[in-house]
Structure 1
Amino acid sequence: MPPEFDARHFRNALSQFATGVTVITTCLPDGTFLGLTASSFNSVSLDPPLVLWSLSKTASSLPVFTGNSHYVINILAGDQAALAERFAMRIDNRFEGVDFELSRTGLPILKGVAAWFECHNRSRYPEGDHVIFVGEVENCEVQPSPALVFHGGKFVTTNRTGNAG
């Protein structure tokens, strides 16, 4: 039975759930770095340490993320809304002028993030119009700071006590 609402109504309802904001990074076979903004991030398991995120089936980067063995999930800090916007744009080099260091597997870890997770690309599940990626965390780091959050179609930050600001 089809739903009794349209896609826009569904999207508006979903926007009432605040999500963290991430930039997922990996690299192309030629060594060029690739990154994109995603708010579909969640923990799955502590033992083994698993996280998930999802990517549209129409994303041009889908074959790269599907085929690569690793990626890094960068959790953006409250003052990094410009990075979220930059990695959501359709531009040639999203990394130009962006400070980062390399992970153990040679992937970009953005400077100033609240936390990052270097993940083995454990499994992928096509569902609806997206592919769900489950990553096994091999390395992670945290720098406690206010988080960047997406709610109601805009970026907001949290303070250290967890209250939206």
Structure 2
Amino acid sequence: MPKKRNNIAIQYYINNTNGNNVGHRRVPSSGGSHKKLRRLPHIFSRVLELPFRSDADVSVEENPDCFRFVVETDSIGDVRAHTIEIHPGVTKIVVRPNGYLELSSLDDLELDMWRFRLPESTRPELASAVLTDGELIVTVPKGDELEENANDNNGEFRGAGGGWD
């Protein structure tokens, strides 16, 4: 197996302080290992955010038809799951108390929130949140749009180039 090359080059520019104002002098770092930085190819387009700190004990269950998130709480009242489109193609499910009005305010930006990256197979617009016996239960259904379109054909199979007339 060939050795992996690291391509990071760190350079420092130091002002010349000997009084002749010649300019800057470039000093390469002495680290020796170089690595080329890469940009991530994508961001996660679906995220669930719960109104708890990031270290909260949340039970995550994946079923064939949904994801279920269960957390014990006594500090919030009635809750609701809101779907917010942060950027075209990037959706966030935010669970907040019913009276909470400012969902997208950056003034109340809280970085230490419990978050979960949802796969593409989830349907954030159908998410629900229920408070039962001191437990917050958030359900995010799964389902591809292809499955929905298949159900809209009244039991008929349709495809391209099939020869069924």
Q: Normalising to structure 1: TM-score of the pair?
A: 0.24
Whose helix fraction is larger, Structure 1's or Structure 2's?
1
Q: Which has the larger radius of gyration?
A: 2
Q: Normalising to structure 2: TM-score of the pair?
A: 0.24
Whose strand fraction is larger, Structure 1's or Structure 2's?
1
